[in-house]
Amino acid sequence: LTLREASMARNIYVALFLGALVGYERRSPDRPAGIRTMSLTSIGVACFTLSSMFAFQSGPMKWDSSRITADIPKGIGFLAGAVIYKGSVMSQNLGKEIQQVHGLTTATTMWWVAARLSLPRLLIPGAQR
């Protein structure tokens, strides 16, 4: 392994750990995203961010790395939209059905994990670029 590959692996493992930590806090049968969802989300964001960091290096292909990082919020928004749903709950006090929206906190947590882990310099001090 080169030093760069070890640094990238370290960033991915830290992203996995932090995503699992957030997922552990969010684990519950009534919450749509837990350890697996948060871990996979954080690893995906870390991999996309790392790949966009090395796009400016010289080589036979030139591409715009800002497109990768700009599309992370779109993809996370798609995933977060899948965990938000509207349901009804029977009210104990009123004796009738009340419409409620579920999954907003989980969706917001997914956005937070993606935003936080897409900044590798803040994730690990001294992360190489």
**pLDDT by residue, tens only, the chain of 129 residues:** 788 888 888 888 988 898 888 888 877 776 667 788 888 888 888 887 887 776 666 666 666 667 777 787 888 888 888 888 878 777 777 778 878 778 877 888 888 777 776 665 545 555 544
* DSSP output for 37-81: HHHHHHHHHHHHHHHHHTTTS-SS----THHHHHHHHHHHHHHHH
Instruction: Count the domains in the chain.
Output: 1
Residue 129, in any domain of the structure: no
| pTM tops 0.75, yes or no | no
* Cα 79 from chain centroid (whole Å): 9
Domain span at 94? 3-123
Residue 103, in any domain of the structure: yes
Residue 128, in any domain of the structure: no
Tokens (6 digits) for 66: 């800002």
Residue 94, in any domain of the structure: yes
> Is 97 in a helix, a strand, or coil?
strand
> Is 124 in a helix, a strand, or coil?
coil
Sign of CA dihedral 102, 106, 107, 109: positive
